[in-house]
Amino acid sequence: MNQISILMISLTQIIKTSMINFTAKPILVLFSLLFTLTSFGQSKTEFLKELYGRFYDEKFEDVIELSQMLEEKHPKETRHLYQKTIALGFVTRDAKYVNQLVGEFAEKEGKKDRLFNYWVGKLHLSRYELDQAKARLEAFKELGAYKSEELDREVISMLALIDRVKPYYDNPEDYEIEHLSATVNTKLDEFSPMFYNDNNSLIFTSNRQAKEDKSQFQVFQGNKSGDWRQPVALSDLGVLNANYSKVDLAESQMHLYAYQNDQLVSSQYNSEWGRPRTVSGFSEKIASDFFINEEENLILFVAGNNQKDIYQSRLENGKWGTAKPVSGKVNAAGSNEQSPFLTADGKTLYFSSNRKEALSGYDIFKSNWDEANKEWSEPENMGFPINTLDDETNFALSPGGYSGSFSSNRLNSFGGYDLYFFNSTDKIPVRGTVTDANTGQPMSGIQVKFHPKNYDDEAFIATTEADGSYEVGVLVNTDFRVEAYVGITKAYEGTFKGYVPTTEDFLAYDLKIRKPSKVATKEDYVASYEGDKEESSSVPIEMLGNKYRTGSKAVTNNVYFNPLSYRLKAESIPTLKLIYNTLKKYPNLKIEIAGHTDSIGPADENVVLSKKRAEAVKAYLVKMGISPDRMQTKGYGEAFPLASNDDEVDGRELNRRIEIIKIE
């Protein structure tokens, strides 16, 4: 890879993570200089190779940046647009990029790229579009085109995940979710929402004002007057490390707790928040999150190194007792438990965990106190829409127990983790009939979806019976966007408001729709691929350990030996370093180093010579630090020529080679 380009990308990443402090103007100058150097030092082909390499390493933000630079220098270049669209899809999770893939790119890329259904399926999954994701991933699996074992395992895992979480998404729990406004949430991270003052005031933490180190969080206070006003940083409370970005509020005494510099501290509110003071007598080491009850005599906190568990300590006779893990089934072997929250009556414990019962990542669970056995019961997943395929943490209930808050990096967040408010609400059945607007006849098999307007990722779904009727439970006192689908084609969109009726125990909503002139049917995603299903004969060395490789063998003609010698020549060093870098990059990669010769000389001697040449390559790599257990050597002599041995150029020269073969 071009060294200037490597420098450019590396500096870009350094600036992103704020490891060095530039003002805006020097950054622009730096990028302008680097871009100019790159433009002169790198051809379009080299630029594309670098971009593709970043793409298959899943460095999607780099792909977007490189695409923009390429387009400035070569505005007519289009070969990268497919990869750029996929990268934008993963970075933004915006539906328009999925639509671009299945629209303008499907005809060309869908026919020749064996990974097309994989990319589209994975993007659908990132958007919780489970049915579409499953159809694409099953097609990719069924296609049978050569794939790595790692990629096969990943696809099988994603399909199993879809089957496991689909019942949650098809049957949402009775919660109305509110994504707090852009006044409160930003493109950076917001954690630890604590509502008080009848939910009109809010304490939370964020790294929005961090200039260099994004692991530095501050405490913010927001107040509502109709809408949320701009939150204010509580600068006297100091800075919190990202691992300790959770705070807690004992509202009755207006004490705000935080964990700073390995100490639990508390701040008192008297017209304004005072400077934090150390909580006397509490010396336990907190690993991340904590909770303190309203009486301020019980602390639940997370402790541990490799595995995070929830512990508790009580204040008795003015002294904090020795911390012990909470009893029962809250702490699970092999998982991490985070952000505990205990209800005021002490009977229900909420927490975040990545245990095997999670939909994916970290979910919110609740456990009830078993008075008879004096322990916490088997935790229950809170389900969708509280939990998603992304991470949820910092769950808290308001005093009444019917509303609360949490933090999540779910789909459609403004960036990173955002704050969410929820209400527990009842459902009301909606009954109706779908008829054809032209004929008046009932329409069966029509899918009707009710999307809450303030949380469009959720849907309450029903399918019409033979007589055109349907029934579905929806949230009361909620505005909905309603869609109806004929096959996979949207044929209707309207609005509906859920409310509590005074005379009936259900709400009525009939739909008259016009059947589309052309109804999209389920496409045969397997048949649409027209490329080669067999393994490609060779790939570049640097792609050999990548899960997206299209072959298991790399051929190099740039490892040089003197005639009839197995001593490596200096001209071989760049290629040997490339092999070394590939092995370092992919630590699980095991290879066979295969030596080949031309037909000059006795065949048995050529076998010995090719074996010694392979061993010379291995010896070099071992000297560089690669474990010998990861490499086998074989000598094939003249048995497998790539070309005729009649000529030197394009013949014997090609046959004298080293092949690097991945060992499955």
Domain edge (last residue) among 170, 199, 214: 170
CATH number of residue 313's parent domain: 2.115.10.20
Predicted confidence at residue 399, as pLDDT, reads: 83
Give domain status of residue 631, yes or no: yes
Q: Select the more confidently predicted residue: 467 or 662.
A: 467
Segment 335-378, tens digit of pLDDT: 999 999 999 999 999 999 999 999 999 999 999 999 999 999 99
Residue 518 placed within a domain = no
Read off the pLDDT band of 15 (50, 70, 90). very low
- What pLDDT, on a 0 to 100 scale, did the predictor assign at position 5? 46
CA–CA dist 460, 442 (Å, integer) = 21
CATH code of residue 568: 3.30.1330.60
Mean pLDDT of all residues belonging to the chain: 87
Tokens, residue 407: 């933090």
Last residue of a domain, one of 424, 449, 484: 424
Residue 461, domain CATH: 2.60.40.1120
In the predicted model, what is the mean pLDDT of residues 397-422?
Answer: 93
Q: Are residues 287 and 410 in the same domain?
A: yes
CB half-sphere exposure, 642, CA atoms < 13 A: 20
Position 627 scores a pLDDT of: 95
Whether residues 381 and 486 share a domain: the answer is no
Domain count across the chain: 4
pLDDT at 518: 64
pLDDT on residue 267: 94
Please indicate, yes or no, whether residues 285 and 382 belong to a single structural domain of this protein. Answer: yes
472 and 573 fall within a common domain = no
Residue 519: inside a domain: no
Query: φ and ψ at 210, to 5 degrees?
Result: -70, 125
Mean per-residue pLDDT, 464-474:
96
Residue 645: which pLDDT band, with cuts at 50, 70 and 90? Answer: low
pLDDT in tens, 520-537: 566 788 878 887 766 555
Instruction: Reduce the DSSP state of residue 21 to 3 states and report it.
Output: coil
Question: What is the share, in percent, of the chain residues with pLDDT greater than 90?
Answer: 64
Band of residue 551 on the pLDDT scale cut at 50, 70, 90? low
**Residue 449 clears pLDDT 80, i.e. is over it:** yes
Residue 111 sits in the same domain as residue 25: yes
Residue 93 or 147, more confident: 93
pLDDT at 550 (0 to 100): 55
Q: Give alpha helix (H) positions in 519-628.
A: 573-585, 603-623
Between the CA of residue 434 and those of 76, 447, 473, 496, 517, what are the distances in Å?
49, 10, 17, 15, 18
Are the C-beta atoms of 506 and 431 separated by less than 8 Å? yes
Lowest mean pLDDT among 26-35, 100-109, 389-398: 26-35
Whether 475 and 452 have beta carbons less than 8 Å apart is answered as: yes
Asked if 51 contacts 43 with a C-beta cutoff of 8 angstroms, the reply is: no
The C-alpha torsion from 36 through 21 and 414 to 160, rounded to 10°, is 80
Which comes out higher in pLDDT, residue 276 or 559?
276
In a domain, 93, yes or no: yes
Does residue 521 fall inside a structural domain? no
| Vertex 466: Cα angle to 464 and 468 (nearest 5) | 45
Q: What is the per-residue pLDDT for 20?
A: 36
Please report, rounded to a whole number, the percentage of residues in the chain having pLDDT higher than 70: 89
Please tell me the predicted confidence (pLDDT) of residue 536.
58
Query: What contacts 24+ positions apart, CB below 8 Å, involve 349-358?
Result: 349/300, 349/376, 350/382, 350/395, 350/396, 350/397, 351/310, 351/379, 351/395, 352/391, 352/392, 352/393, 352/394, 352/395, 353/379, 355/379, 356/332, 357/381, 358/387
Range ranked top by mean pLDDT from 29-33, 49-53, 598-602, 621-625: 621-625
- Quick one: DSSP state of residue 402? S
Residue 553 β-bridge partners? 661
484 domain residue, yes or no: yes
Q: Are 137 and 165 within one domain?
A: yes
Pairwise CA distance, residues 424 & 429, whole Å: 17
Q: Where are the beta strands (DSSP E) in 197-308?
A: 201-206, 216-225, 227-228, 232-233, 239-241, 248-250, 255-260, 263-268, 277-278, 290-292, 298-303
For the residues 446-453, what does the mean pLDDT come to? 93
Mean pLDDT to the nearest integer, 395-414: 93
CATH number at residue 115: 1.25.40.10
Indicate the DSSP class of residue 421: E
pLDDT at 559: 84
Is residue 595 one of the residues assigned to a domain? Answer: yes
d(CA 102, CA 649): 46
Same domain, 478 and 384: no
- Out of 424, 440, 468, a domain closes at 424
pLDDT at position 334 over 90: yes
Assess whether 241 and 321 both reside in one domain.
yes
* Contact indicator for 644, 619 with CB cutoff of 8 Å: no
Q: What is the pLDDT of residue 31?
A: 45
Task: Show Cβ contacts of residue 539 under 8 Å, excluding neighbours closer than 6 positions.
Answer: 549, 550, 551, 552, 553, 554
Per-residue pLDDT tens over the stretch 562-573: 767 788 888 889
How confident is the model at residue 286, as a pLDDT?
95
Q: In terms of residue numbers, what domain contains 605?
A: 541-662
So what's the pLDDT on residue 651? Answer: 53
> Bridge partners of 463?
447
Cα–Cα distance list, 61 to 214, 536, 585, 642 (Å): 18, 29, 19, 39
Residue 582 amino acid letter: T
User: Average pLDDT of 655-662?
Assistant: 84
**Cα–Cα distance, 425 to 337 (Å, whole number):** 28
Cα 55 to Cα 636: distance, rounded to the nearest angstrom: 35
- 9 & 112 share domain: yes
Query: What pLDDT, on a 0 to 100 scale, did the predictor assign at position 581?
Result: 92
Residues 189 and 336 grouped into a single domain: yes
Structure-token pair, residue 320:
């904090």
Give the number of C-alpha atoms closer than 13 A to the C-alpha of residue 661, restricted to the C-beta side: 16
pLDDT at 101: 94
**Residue 14 clears pLDDT 80, i.e. is over it:** no
Are 148 and 180 members of one domain? no
Q: Is residue 536 part of a domain?
A: no
Average of pLDDT values for 457-479? 93
pLDDT band at 24 (very low <50, low <70, confident <90, very high): very low
Instruction: Specify whether 302 is located in the same domain as 394.
Output: yes
